[in-house]
């Protein structure tokens, strides 16, 4: 129970870490090297998020948010697997696909959290 909730919190923090990656290109990040270091671990955050969310889902069992959690995890898995083909895509196409799937993951996570809390 405690480990499940801890992994849920870690997963949310990792998702936020993944979503703030565009801050790397801001003037604020250029002036503050520690910000660049934090947002520079984007790939690592994504992979660890996938693993933490997987273990969270296993520990959570058959709770109300199971379906939305699985959907969010599967889209995240697809997002990460598509990185294998990143070099074969144009940068603009990759950015659109990556941003779109990231937005879907975020939306599904919000629905997952709300559904798990309400039900």
pLDDT digits (tens, 9 = 90+) for 91-112: 999 999 999 999 999 999 999 9
Mean pLDDT of the chain: 92
Q: Which pLDDT belongs to residue 19? A: 93
Threshold 0.85, pTM exceeds: yes
- Has residue 119 got a pLDDT over 90? no
Q: Report the share of the chain in percent with pLDDT over 90.
A: 71
> What are the boundaries of each domain within the chain?
2-118
C-beta pairs of 63-70 under 8 Å, 24+ apart in sequence: 63/116, 64/115, 64/116, 64/119, 65/112, 65/113, 65/115, 65/116, 65/119, 68/108, 68/111, 68/112, 68/115, 68/116, 69/112, 69/116
Q: Is the pLDDT of residue 45 over 90?
A: yes
| Confidence at residue 39, expressed as pLDDT on a 0 to 100 scale | 86
pLDDT value of position 59: 93
């Amino acid at each position: 129970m405690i480990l499940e909730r801890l992994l849920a919190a870690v997963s949310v923090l990792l998702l936020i870490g993944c979503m703030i990656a565009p801050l790397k290109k801001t003037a604020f990040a250029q002036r503050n090297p520690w910000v660049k270091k934090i947002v520079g671990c984007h790939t690592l955050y994504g992979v660890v998020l996938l693993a933490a969310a997987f273990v969270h889902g296993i520990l959570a069992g058959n709770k109300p948010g199971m379906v939305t959690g699985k959907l969010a995890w599967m889209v995240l898995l697809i997002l990460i697997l598509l990185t294998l083909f990143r070099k074969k895509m144009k940068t603009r196409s990759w950015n659109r696909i990556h941003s779109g799937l990231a937005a879907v993951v975020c939306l599904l996570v919000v629905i997952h959290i709300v559904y798990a809390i309400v039900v």
